[in-house]
Amino acid sequence: GENVEQHPSTLSVQEGDSAVIKCTYSDSASNYFPWYKQELGKGPQLIIDIRSNVGEKKDQRIAVTLNKTAKHFSLHITETQPEDSAVYFCAASNSWGKLQFGAGTQVVVTP
Amino acid sequence: NAGVTQTPKFQVLKTGQSMTLQCAQDMNHEYMSWYRQDPGMGLRLIHYSVGAGITDQGEVPNGYNVSRSTTEDFPLRLLSAAPSQTSVYFCASSSAGGSDEQYFGPGTRLTVT
């Protein structure tokens, strides 16, 4: 089955700096890679996703890159703001498959 | 639209007790799933359903039962609660299984003493 590893487990950044979270996956058949943000006391919410036919995707301050050869993908947050403080999860699945989540990254943005 | 709703928000059980966690969605999604979230372990899939009358096991199904009699509802039953089932439980739904956006409910925090 799929195995997703996520690093780092915690990330502290100064407001305005960039944050990068990295994930690796094991199943070469995986073709869908979403990122979820979880605020305290709430359920995870999708912030961006990428499919295997695309190498990079951007949405305002958030971007995701995918390297299929190396089986890794990353989340980049630029110009971080206090409201970016949350737990971020990466995940991977194949078509109609089960999502496998990483262990999560606690991001703290300090003013 | 209410999205995905879960009840109760909090529950304390004694070892050996049984209970049902409720989940409902109003988005007409065929795919529904249950996850548990434990510190440092991300979200682990317990059971899922690809449509009414069809369920299957996920990564950690032992000690849990599910059924799917309608598109809207997907209850999770704990048959005989154990302290190892202390966790936060999330229900999710999507229109296209694991390869599409999952809409998560607000979660149920369960403590088993």
Nearest-5° Cα angle at A99, A96 to A103? 170
Residue in B33, B58, B102 nearest the CB of A46? B102
Residue in B35, B42, B101 nearest the CB of A104? B42
Phi, psi of B72 (to 5 degrees): -80, -30
Check CB contact under 8 Å for A44 and B106: no
Q: Which long-range contacts (CB under 8 A, 24 or more apart) does B45-54 make?
A: B45/A98, B45/A99, B45/A100, B46/B76, B46/B89, B47/B76, B48/A98, B49/B74, B50/A96, B50/B97
Phi, psi of B86 (to 5 degrees): -65, 120
Tell me the per-residue pLDDT of A52-105, one tens digit each, with 9 for 90 and over: 888 999 999 999 999 999 999 999 999 999 999 999 999 999 766 789 999 999
Which pLDDT belongs to residue A95?
63
Distance from C-alpha of B3 to C-alpha of A81, rounded to nearest angstrom: 28
Provide the percentage of residues in chain A whose pLDDT is more than 70.
98
